[in-house]
Every structure is written in structure tokens, then in C-alpha cells.
Structure 1
Amino acid sequence: MSSPAQQETPAKGGSSPKGTPLPQQSPVKGGSPAVPGSPAHSPKKSPPRSPPSGKANTAQPFVLQNSDDEDYYTKPDFIYGGPFIAVNKPSPFLDTGTPINLPLQGTFKKSFAYYSLKERIPVILTKIIDYLSREASNIKSANGASDEDLRNFMQSVVKLKNDLVTNKDYDPFTVDTENAKKWNMWIDDQENKKYFNNTWMFSECYLYRKLREGCELTKGLQNFDYFEAQKKSAFDNNVELMCIVADKMVTMVNKSEKDKRKADFITLLKICLWANKCDLSLSLGSQVNLIQAAKDATEKLRQSPPPPPPPTKGKGKEPAQQAPLVISHDPFQMILDLKDKLLVDDSAKIADQVVTKSEAMMKAINAVCATSCGREEKTEKEGKEGKEGKEGKEEAPKQIPCPAKMTVPQAVMFDIVCDNTGYELFADLCLAHFLVAQKIVQKVRFHVKDMPWFISDVTEKDFRYVIDACTNSNFSSEASSGATEGDTGEAKIIKADNLRTLGQQWNQYLTDGVFQVMAEEFWTYPHVYRDMKKYDPNLYRKLQYAVAIMFKGDLNYRKLLGDRNWNPTTGFEASLQGFIPAPIIAVRTVKAELISGLPKGKWDQLTAADEKWMQSGDYGVIQFCAKGEALKVSDRPCMDYCKTCFGVTCPEHTDI
């Protein structure tokens, strides 16, 4: 079956460099090219299309009409055959990449958005269909599902794939939930309702949400995660890396002097960055094994070694050394090996400013506590005096401020908006553990998805699986690197002893509330983050309690930047478009064609060497915006609003 883009005739004009106006597009106010299909977009008229036979009186076959002309078959030209004059309807598809300052969408045929909708996502859906077919018996047994449940879900996936590749309109949701009603309202609000013609963000999020609805409409697959087996395999494939990091973590969590603490903070940020390579949606669900990937890269490097370095100029200087032709899978060595692939590195700034802000926040919390504790002591004293002769006194419940009135949080909190499970989540947990152990923060909140999402994104179930798998790991194997120990030359054995210790501590942190897992609906909405205040103001306020928020991975980065093709040199803060609930940290390997904050000329240099460098995940950024919107008394009720509002203090409320 041909794709919609193959059926369409692209507008004249080839590809152009990033930022160059396309000749067939009309300018709009501000100098940016108009979005295809919008009123401002008025392509040049093309001459009438000649009939295929070359005869003026021959009716034009309907196959030459545009596929999105749904009324064609009811028109006289089709019913009576012709003759007629062909009218060339302008195609929404352009044979170019995404122009500067426009949202990413599937109408630009040389963009990663078009490639994803046309090639990548259909493969992902096909693999789900294949999995349902191969593992039908196990799936039914594990979920208590019937043959009909599985058949209905499989049919929904098949339909979803067919609708995508033929560029149909979005189907409304039929499951009777508040979430589905919201989606239907958002679909109605879209100017373009076809997969390729609308923004890539909306279409991609709609696909994963619609995929979930297929399970919601069955009786036995309500809790079925069609990506679970892939996520568990991804964990197992990278346990050795986790053991290597765990062995070093033992030295990092002990109380450190200032310089070592900063160095360890930076190291763990970079571990988190390169762990983001483990993205199953980029690999179309194929397993990402960083150990095997390193071996493959080493072999490729040895087969095609780089040219030797130029001789060192000047007398007495030794010649430059050839870099070793080995790509290491050791996470700490990767930081050194991939130094030149880190395009923006704000890690030192992050380490300094998070610590500074945490100390200031702790002082503010202590000041509030001292004031409130004084009031509580006075109240308790008055209560005792008024109840003389009564033995003892019941301890008064802790007074929790109303979230809507609170302007100082209850604790110094660091937030992580998670991306992938497995090794990447493990790396995030290590950073969180370090921040708590070094008393930089008191609490870490992990924001995860409320449904299976983009194959390997973390859900609450995945979060607990990773911690339990670490706690119970029995991994023991010779080092894949071939490393040896001592003078004996015996192979080094990698064991999971310290990995189990970390898992046990993380379980305790969960029990004590030091680690908190939050699965807000907004993370699976199709909205970019500048619109969070509009669609979920309560979540925005919750994020304001954080000393900093670390957004992991490519999807989060796209939503931070409004999924817009910024000029690469635009500053990171400007590209956030006012989304600053708290200081923002973005940690991302580059897997989509948008980026900001690059040094002048860097984008051109990388693109000249490899046009598809932004799709590979080989490059990364660690970016920081230090600004944050101050907490103010809200004019809205609190996020956990009850039937009765208790005012300034709330006995019904728990710790935020």
C-alpha cells in the first residue's frame, strides 16, 4: 500500500538549507513561511494536468485525483466520465525539511517527522500485532483475557496502522472516560485532523493513546502492557553496566567535601545523559544493548581507522598520540570517550546552582517551621492550662498548609520527569540517591507515565520492577571488556552485590517517602509544556515546589521547545517560551530534528558531515535555565480540593 505522501504530488521546488525560504511558499507576517494548508499558504498556480493518453477529450482517471478529495466520487466528472478540464489541487506535502520556526509535522517529506509517521511507527504497530499473534496463549493466561479480547485488540491495532499509512482523519475515542472526552474535544479543536497534516506531536501522542484505548475496550486486557516484555529484556541486557555504576556509587554516597561532591554530581548527570541512548522507540522496539553496541563500534573503527593526527609543530615536542581504536561500554569511560559529542554542557553550572538554591530553600523552610512551631507550642500550652487535672494530652496532628496558600514548600525537593525504564531509570535513581545522601535535597519526586507510552517510557509498574530487579539481582559474569584483576591476570568478575544494596536502599526510600512516584495524566497529553498552565495548572503549581526539575530524553525536550524547529543558536531559555515553574535541566541525546542553544556554526558543521546526525542519538546536551517562577498564593482551590475547604491549614492534606 502506498503512503499518502506517495499518492500526493509535492509542490515544486527542491529542498533548501535550514532557514532558507521556499520559493513556492508565500511569506507571512514576521518573515516565517506559512504552514501548508493554512490561509496564508497560497502556492503558485500550476498549469492544467494533461490527460494520460494525450487526447484532450479523454476523461481523466480518478486515480490521478488527490486522495484527500473525499467528494470526488459524487461529482459529475466521475459519474458521467467527462470530458473535463483537470484542476490541479495543491498538495499539502512539500519536498523539503521543516522550515525554521515551524512546528514539526509530516507534510515536510525530508523531515524526521515524515519519516517517523511513514516508516517508524507502522513498524512499531506491526511488531505489536506480531507479538499478540505469537504470544496469544501466554497473554491470555497472564491477564485472564478471552480469545475475543485478544482478537478485538489486535483488530484495533490493525485499523490504527491502516488509518495512519493512508492518512485518514483521527477517529474519536469511544471508551467512556473523562480522559477520552478530553481527547475528543482536542481532536475537534484541530484545524487539520489527518495524521500527516497535523503537528507530529499531536499525531504521535494520539497514536499511543489510541493504542491504549484498544485495551480499555476489552474486559480482560485492562492492565495489559504490550511493551512490558521488551522493557524487561532491555533491563536484563544492561545489568552489567548497572553493576559497574553501583560499585562506584558506594564511594559517591558517603559524605564528601565540596569539590568531590561537585565532581560526582557532574559525573552522574553525564551517566544519566548517555543512558538515554537506551530508547526502544528510536530502535523501533529492537533491544538496545550498550555492551554489544560498543563492541560493534570498536570493530567498525578498526576496519576503517581515522587518519593519524598531524605532527606536532615545534622543537622537542613529542608527536601526537593516536587515540586507541576501542569504544568502551564502561559508563564512566563513555563520559570521556563521548566528550566531543556533548554539544552543550551546563553540568558544572547545574551542580553549583542546585546546591546554592537548595541551601536557600532550606533556610526559608526552617524559618517558616520556627514560626509555626512557636504557634503550636503556644496553642499546646494554652490547651494544657485549660484542661488541668486531665492526664496527658493527645498529640495534635501535624498542621499542613493549604497548597493553594503555600509559598514555601514543605521540603527541599528535586523533580525528575522520567523517560525510559531499564538502565536509564537506574541512572536517574543513582542521581536521586546521591542528592539525598549528600543532603543536597530531602526528597526526590519521579514523574512517570500513567499508561504504556513510546514503548520504553517509565510507568509506575516499571519503576517498581527496576528497583525490585536490582534488589534481587544475582548477576555474576566475567567483564565483557576482558578486564583482569591483580597480578594473576584472571578475568575480572562483575557481581551484583552493590546493585542489591542500592535496590534495598531505594525500597526504603520509597517506604519512607523520600522517593515519591507521581503519574499525572498531563504527561500523556498531546500538549507542549508552555501550555501546561492552561491544561493542568495544578501540576504546574506542584512543579513550582521543586528546587529544580530534570527533564529526561527526546520527547520531553520536544515538549519543552514546543516541538518547533528553532534556529539552533536560539538560547535555551528563549526556546522554553515562558515555561519556568522552577529551574529547568534538560538531559537528552539528540533523536529528533530540533535543538536550541548551540554555538554559532556548530549546526552547519555537523550537518555538513552528516545530514542525519540529529536522528542517531549519538550526540547529547545538558542544558540549564536557572530562572523559576516564584510561588504565590493561588486564586484557585488546591489540587486535592475536598468538599470542605479548611483554609490556611488543612488536616485532610498530606505532605506535598
Structure 2
Amino acid sequence: MSSPAKGVALPQSPVKGGSPTKPGSPLAQSKKSSKASSPTRSTGAAQPFVHQNSDDEDYYTRPDFIYGGPFIGVNRPSPFLDTGTPMNLPLQGTFKKSFAYFSLKERIPVILTKIIDYLSRDGGSIKSANGASEEDLKNFMQSVVKLKNDLVTNKDYDPFTVDTANAKKWNMWIENQENKKYFNNTWMFTECYLYRKLREGCELTKGLQKFDYFEAQKKSAFDNNVELMCIVADKMVTMVNKSEKDKRKADFITLLKICLWANKCDLSLSLGSQVNLIQAAKDATEKLRLNPPPPPPPPKKGKKGKPAKEAAPQAPLVISHDPFQMILDLKDKLLVDDTAKIADQVQNKADAMLKAINANTTFKFKCSCHRLATLAGVPLCKDEAAEEVKDTKDAKDTKDTKDKKETKEAAPAEAKDGKEKKEDAPKPIPCPAKMTVPQAVMFDIVCDNTGYELFADLCLAHFLVAQKIVQKVRFHVKDMPWFISDVTEKDFRYVIDACSNSNFSKEASSGATEGEGGAPKIIKADNLRLLGQAWNQYLTDGVFQVMAEEFWTTPHVYRDMKKYDPILYRKLQYAVAIMFKGDLNYRKLLGDRNVNPTTGFEASLQGFIPAPIIAVRTVKAELICGLPKGKWDQLTTADEKWMQSGDYGVIQFCPKGEALKVSDRPCMDYCQTCFGVVCPEHTDI
């Protein structure tokens, strides 16, 4: 390669955000030697610098990049900054000291590698269980390999190729992104894109359409924590008995805290490795004994005539795995505790809502559907509406008559006092778009992890129903495998069935004994089975309802829910309160921005208040709100990575909720035409 004319030098490009040459690097040494050998430098005209196409951020500062005579470092425009996430900016992978950068660079590639290993190791059983071919497995594996490759090299997002309405939405969202590279865009969008793209790999095959590549890990996570579930179940059988106000409040608070610390069982944080809280407690105890905390300060001298204050007791050097003892052990790790406020205000709001439901007659007999439908641009005269309702009713009557006839021919009709038993008339269901009062007092749980965490959520739901605080609990789950251990509808039913059929029996891991002889205490699953059977019945009766809305697996933060899914927002408005579980939900509640840690919880929600909001989360990402002044600085000084460990938690509450108003459009969730008094398409809320 021929060199340019001697004495012509390329000027340093003063690009903002570029990285200076590190002292002692080969490039810096070559600069030093070139200066020593060239005492004079030409003042000839500088040559223009043309950027090369390269995904390597250090391409232009490597010693092998030679542009005339001496090596000259050229700062390439780089989005990467050697800092943490600045205040009030979205979390994203361009901040190299942030957890977002570490997650994209280190954590998610490991998660994808484990899927590739799983497909290689257990390909035969996967094909057999799913009726898949060798070609299906090969194609899916190749898609995962490409996804990992594109991530670590910071490529542009690939569009989705599967022909579904959801994929078309994703392509539109990708097109609307200002930054289309994995690290350069927001962490929320990239993470959600990765898990959605992972799913597309299965959708593009014939035999792996329903394959859950995280299922085996989720089942193992359940099995690893059955002992904890049995311990909780043994106390739950007393908690569900009708109790007086103070005990009911205390039990409500306890179960909220059980739900919080169960959130430690997050396979995404552990990169898919199993989380066994019993072993984790033993490891923590050993670590505490090797590095005991400093002794408590000496007692302060009392004032004249007053006794001296006693010294604070030394904390025990044992971390218990008992979920109820864990609440006490981790008391100082609960940074915001709104549980008492939650217990009082949910009860009060539930009582007020029940009175409103019992007093409501408007939508039992009439509604203004026709007028509102017309205002929404759906012309519908009363005659047409009446005819359509009549047609629907006639069709139903014909079907009912046929069913009754077939039943009568198949078996003799049951008779009582010489008369046929009459079936109860179906309860009229009003159009949900016109309701301003729900049909039942409902509590919503937006789920996070399956296994022990879901079990804890079910216990809280059971308690709320058994104590008659609410009449119904709706569980919002994911519609596809998500962030390794997030609950899908299949996972939900698996946990209940596994509890119902558990035969667990084992000596207590704590070494506890019972009886005069000090025989080892045996932990059994008798009460766990009773709970599982009760939950199955609740599902059958509609007291528990599982809802898998598409919105939960989109990249949108919750302040934008009204824009992207107004129907889901309206459904949430029916709830007496909504409990959002886990770190991903917390990030979406806060708009995935690094808000000031002292900003209040309500202000951090940025207007997202469909109903009172409860956030229950162990801290696993670098954003938090509602902390007392100085607390964040204190914790960060002691451990700059405290927000990544999951060792701390918050239970926060916003009591406000947007009033439920009559909608100005027909309920598109059930039908495109408003039928008036009774909606024949609508069977639930």
C-alpha cells in the first residue's frame, strides 16, 4: 500500500463523546515515538477524513489503523459513555457502568447460550414431546444463535417475518424507533424485543409452535421450594378462617411481605440457574458468620434521675429460610413499607365498592348504549338493535330447546314433587363499556414469576376471598414464555395442580424437632394439597380468573397503556386495587427512567392510576423511588451494586384511582356492535 505524501498529517477529530487514547497503549507509545523522530511537522492542508462502516466502536483508535506516516488516533462518534445512567434518562445499554449495559453484554447472552445448550443436549426429548422434526429443531437453534450474535455485535433489529397481527405491530414499533440498535435503544425495548424474537423462532416452525424453552427450568424452580410452600400452607389454614379486624389486618400485612420476599425467586436475575431459598439462607448464614457485623454501640447514659438505656441486642448470626421468620430477619432490607396503609385502605375501598354494587340498578335494567354507539360513529337504530338481540335470543332458545330434548331422550328428567327441576335463568350481563360500577369487588394481581412466588400470590388471593374483603381475584399473566420464569397460563395451572397432587414429606431443613424425644420435625404437604384443591375450585367457580392480555408482552411502559390498549386500562379500572409484582413491572410503572430516588411513588407513576396501585418488588435494577432523603447515598456508599442483588425490597402504595366513566365507544373487546341492555357476546368482566 502506497503512503500519502510525506509531511501531510490528518488532524485529530474533536468528536464529542469519543474515548481518549489510554496512556501506555500501543497507540499512545507510537504517538510518542513519532513525535521524537519528527521534530518538525508540515503545515500542509489537512486531508478530509471519511468514516468507515464498522460495528467495532474502537476501530479508528486501533494501532493497525494507519492513515499516513505516524499512527494518529481518531475519535469515532460513539454512543457509549463510561458512566452510569444519568438522572431522569431512560435505562439503556449505552451507559457502560449501568446494569442495562451489563445485562445486554453479559447476562442475556448467557441466557441464550443456555437455550442453545438445552436444544443440543435434549433435542430428542424435545422433538418427541412436541411432535417436532429435526428440521424444526435445527431452524429454531439457528434463530437463537443469530439472535445472540446480533445482540453481542450490536446490530440493527431485524424485522419480524412471521405473518401475525402481533408481528406487524412490532415491525411498526421498530420502524418508529429513533435508535434501532440493541445497545443504543432503551433497555426496555431491546429486552422485550429479544424475548419476542426468541418466540418467533418457534412460530416459524411447524412442530414447536407451543414449545416453552423455559418450562423445564420453571418446573425445577417449583420443586426446589416445595418445603417453603408447605410451611406457609400450614399457617394459611388458620389465616383463612374468619377473624376479627386486628388479626385480619396483621395477616394481610404478613402475606404481602411473604409475596415480596418470594420475588427473590427470579430465574432471569440468576441467568436461569435454580434459586433455592433454603440453600440461599444457609449460604447467607455462613457468610454472616465469617464476616460478622460490628457489635452494637454501648448503652447511652441516662439523664439525671433516669436509668441508662439498654444496649441494642446483637442480631443473631443466622438467616432463616422460614418465610415467616424471613420477614423479621429482613426487616431492615424493606426500604419502603406501606403495608399497613394498604391493609386499611383496600378494606375501606372494598366496603365502599360493595355498597355501590348492591345499590346500583342502572345497568341491571337499562343503559344508554344506542346513543353512545351513534356518537362513536356506529349508527344503530333501536329497531335494529332489538331485532339483533331478538335473533340472538331466538338462536339461544333454539339451542336450549334442542339441548333439553336431547337430555330428556338420553335420561329421564329429574323430578321433585312431581315437577321438573327448573334451571336458574342466566344473569343478564350489561355492556362493560357502559358500566360505572363493576359487578363484583375485584382485586387484580399482575404476576411476575411462577413457582414459589406465584404460590405466595395465590395465598394472598385466597386470604382476600376467604376473609370476604373481595369477591374475585384476577391474575394477569404473560401470553408467551417471557423473561425465563414469568407466569403463563400453562404455568398458572401447573402450580395449582402440582400443589393439589404434592406428596412432599421430609425432615425440616432447619433441624427443628418436636415432641418429648426431640424427634426431627417432618414437613408434609397435607395442607398444601388442601390449598391446591381450593384454588382449583375457585378457578372452576370463576372466583379466580386468569387473563393473558397481549399488552403485558409489549415494550410499552404503563403510562402509555391508554394509548396502546384502552380496553385493558378500562378493565383494570374495575379493580379495588392492582398489585404489580416484580422488577419488570416496577420498571414499567416508573417509565423505565432513572428517577430521583426521593421522588414520591405517585409522581413516579406519571399519571398511570387506573385504580389504587400496589408495587411489590425486590430491587434488581437501577431505578427506585420513594426513598427517604439520604438513604440512596448511604446504601450506595456501602455497596455501589446494591440495586442489582435483589437483597432489598419495597412495598409501595398509591391510593388514587381514575373514576370509571361511561365509555364513548362500543366495547370492541367483545363485539363491534352495541346491543343495548344485555351484551350477548360478553360473559365475564
Taking structure 2 as the reference length, the TM-score comes to 0.82
Q: Give the aligned partner of residue 399 of structure 2.
A: none
Instruction: Specify whether residues 529 and 643 from structure 1 end up closer, same or farther in structure 2 by C-alpha distance, changes over 3 A only.
Output: closer
Q: What displacement does 1:508 show?
A: 0.1
Q: Which has the larger radius of gyration?
A: 2
Between the aligned partners of 2:590 and 2:314, the Cα distance in structure 1 is: 40
Q: 1:416 aligns with which of 434, 445, 448?
A: 445
1:362 aligned to 2:349? no
Between the aligned partners of 1:69 and 1:496, the Cα distance in structure 2 is: 56
Between the aligned partners of 1:45 and 1:441, the Cα distance in structure 2 is: 58
Contact in 1 for aligned 2:18/2:75 (Cα 8 Å):
no
Q: 1:472 aligns with which of 501, 507, 513?
A: 501
Q: Give the aligned partner of residue 606 of structure 1.
A: 635
For 1:114, give the aligned amino acid: Y
Q: Give the aligned partner of residue 193 of structure 1.
A: 180
Q: Give the aligned partner of residue 383 of structure 1.
A: none
1:332 aligned to 2:361? no
Between the aligned partners of 1:293 and 1:330, the Cα distance in structure 2 is: 12
Q: 2:139 aligns with which of 132, 152, 164?
A: 152
Q: What displacement does 1:404 show?
A: 1.1
Q: What displacement does 1:654 show?
A: 1.0
SS at match of 2:680: coil
1:322 aligned to 2:326? no
SS at match of 2:445: strand
Between the aligned partners of 1:493 and 1:593, the Cα distance in structure 2 is: 41
Identify unmatched segments of 5+ residues in structure 1: 1-23, 25-40, 376-390
1:214 aligned to 2:201? yes
1:353 aligned to 2:353? no
Between the aligned partners of 1:64 and 1:190, the Cα distance in structure 2 is: 24
1:238 aligned to 2:225? yes
Q: Give the aligned partner of residue 192 of structure 2.
A: 205
SS at match of 1:282: coil
Instruction: Specify whether residues 45 and 125 from structure 1 end up closer, same or farther in structure 2 by C-alpha distance, changes over 3 A only.
Output: closer
Contact in 2 for aligned 1:241/1:330 (Cα 8 Å):
yes
Between the aligned partners of 2:673 and 2:484, the Cα distance in structure 1 is: 41
Q: 2:463 aligns with which of 425, 434, 452?
A: 434
Contact in 2 for aligned 1:103/1:199 (Cα 8 Å):
yes
For 1:300, give the aligned amino acid: K
Q: What displacement does 1:591 show?
A: 0.1
Q: What displacement does 1:626 show?
A: 0.4
SS at match of 2:265: coil
Between the aligned partners of 1:503 and 1:618, the Cα distance in structure 2 is: 29
Deviations 1:255-299, CA, capped at 9 Å, x for gaps = 000000000000000000000000000000000000000001111
Q: Give the aligned partner of residue 551 of structure 1.
A: 580
Between the aligned partners of 1:122 and 1:200, the Cα distance in structure 2 is: 14
1:91 aligned to 2:83? no
Greater CA drift, 645-654 or 174-183 = 645-654
Q: What displacement does 1:213 show?
A: 0.3
Q: Give the aligned partner of residue 512 of structure 1.
A: 541
Q: What displacement does 1:341 show?
A: 0.3
Deviations 1:399-456, CA, capped at 9 Å, x for gaps = 2111111111010000000000000000000000000000000000000000000000
1:403 aligned to 2:432? yes
Between the aligned partners of 1:405 and 1:370, the Cα distance in structure 2 is: 10
Identity %: 87
Instruction: Specify whether residues 455 and 644 from structure 1 end up closer, same or farther in structure 2 by C-alpha distance, changes over 3 A only.
Output: same
Q: What displacement does 1:91 show?
A: 1.1
For 2:337, give the aligned amino acid: D
Q: Give the aligned partner of residue 564 of structure 1.
A: 593
Q: What displacement does 1:544 show?
A: 0.4
Q: Give the aligned partner of residue 620 of structure 1.
A: 649
Between the aligned partners of 1:568 and 1:440, the Cα distance in structure 2 is: 33
1:283 aligned to 2:275? no
Between the aligned partners of 1:630 and 1:262, the Cα distance in structure 2 is: 26
1:522 aligned to 2:551? yes
Q: What displacement does 1:373 show?
A: 7.3
SS at match of 1:404: helix
Q: What displacement does 1:369 show?
A: 4.5
Deviations 1:132-172, CA, capped at 9 Å, x for gaps = 10101110110011111000000000000000000000000
Q: Give the aligned partner of residue 388 of structure 2.
A: none
Q: What displacement does 1:118 show?
A: 0.3
SS at match of 1:201: helix
1:253 aligned to 2:282? no
Identify unmatched segments of 5+ residues in structure 2: 1-13, 22-26, 302-306, 368-419
Contact in 1 for aligned 2:479/2:549 (Cα 8 Å):
yes
Contact in 1 for aligned 2:55/2:153 (Cα 8 Å):
no
For 2:483, give the aligned amino acid: F
Q: Give the aligned partner of residue 674 of structure 2.
A: 645
Greater CA drift, 486-495 or 619-628 = 486-495
Instruction: Specify whether residues 356 and 148 from structure 1 end up closer, same or farther in structure 2 by C-alpha distance, changes over 3 A only.
Output: same
1:107 aligned to 2:91? no
For 2:121, give the aligned amino acid: R
SS at match of 1:246: helix
Q: What displacement does 1:66 show?
A: 7.0
Q: What displacement does 1:635 show?
A: 1.4
Q: Give the aligned partner of residue 175 of structure 1.
A: 162
Q: What displacement does 1:551 show?
A: 0.1
Q: What displacement does 1:322 show?
A: 1.8
Contact in 2 for aligned 1:589/1:618 (Cα 8 Å):
yes
Contact in 2 for aligned 1:403/1:639 (Cα 8 Å):
no
Greater CA drift, 581-590 or 363-372 = 363-372
Q: 1:540 aligns with which of 569, 573, 578?
A: 569
Deviations 1:464-490, CA, capped at 9 Å, x for gaps = 000000000000000000011122211
Aligned positions of 1:12-31 closer than 5 A:
none
Q: What displacement does 1:87 show?
A: 5.5
Between the aligned partners of 1:45 and 1:465, the Cα distance in structure 2 is: 52
Q: What displacement does 1:65 show?
A: 5.7
Q: What displacement does 1:395 show?
A: 6.5
Q: What displacement does 1:300 show?
A: 1.1
Contact in 2 for aligned 1:66/1:89 (Cα 8 Å):
no
Between the aligned partners of 1:595 and 1:402, the Cα distance in structure 2 is: 39
Q: 2:334 aligns with which of 339, 342, 367?
A: 342
SS at match of 1:344: strand
Q: Give the aligned partner of residue 122 of structure 2.
A: 135
Q: What displacement does 1:88 show?
A: 3.3
1:584 aligned to 2:613? yes
Between the aligned partners of 1:204 and 1:618, the Cα distance in structure 2 is: 23
For 2:165, give the aligned amino acid: E
Between the aligned partners of 1:564 and 1:392, the Cα distance in structure 2 is: 61
For 2:314, give the aligned amino acid: Q
Instruction: Specify whether residues 320 and 43 from structure 1 end up closer, same or farther in structure 2 by C-alpha distance, changes over 3 A only.
Output: closer
Between the aligned partners of 1:533 and 1:318, the Cα distance in structure 2 is: 56
Greater CA drift, 313-322 or 149-158 = 313-322
Between the aligned partners of 1:264 and 1:562, the Cα distance in structure 2 is: 32
Between the aligned partners of 1:45 and 1:470, the Cα distance in structure 2 is: 56
Q: What displacement does 1:640 show?
A: 2.5
SS at match of 1:416: strand
For 1:334, give the aligned amino acid: M
Instruction: Specify whether residues 147 and 431 from structure 1 end up closer, same or farther in structure 2 by C-alpha distance, changes over 3 A only.
Output: same
For 1:330, give the aligned amino acid: D
Q: What displacement does 1:82 show?
A: 6.7
Contact in 2 for aligned 1:227/1:456 (Cα 8 Å):
yes
Aligned positions of 1:287-302 closer than 5 A:
287-302=274-289
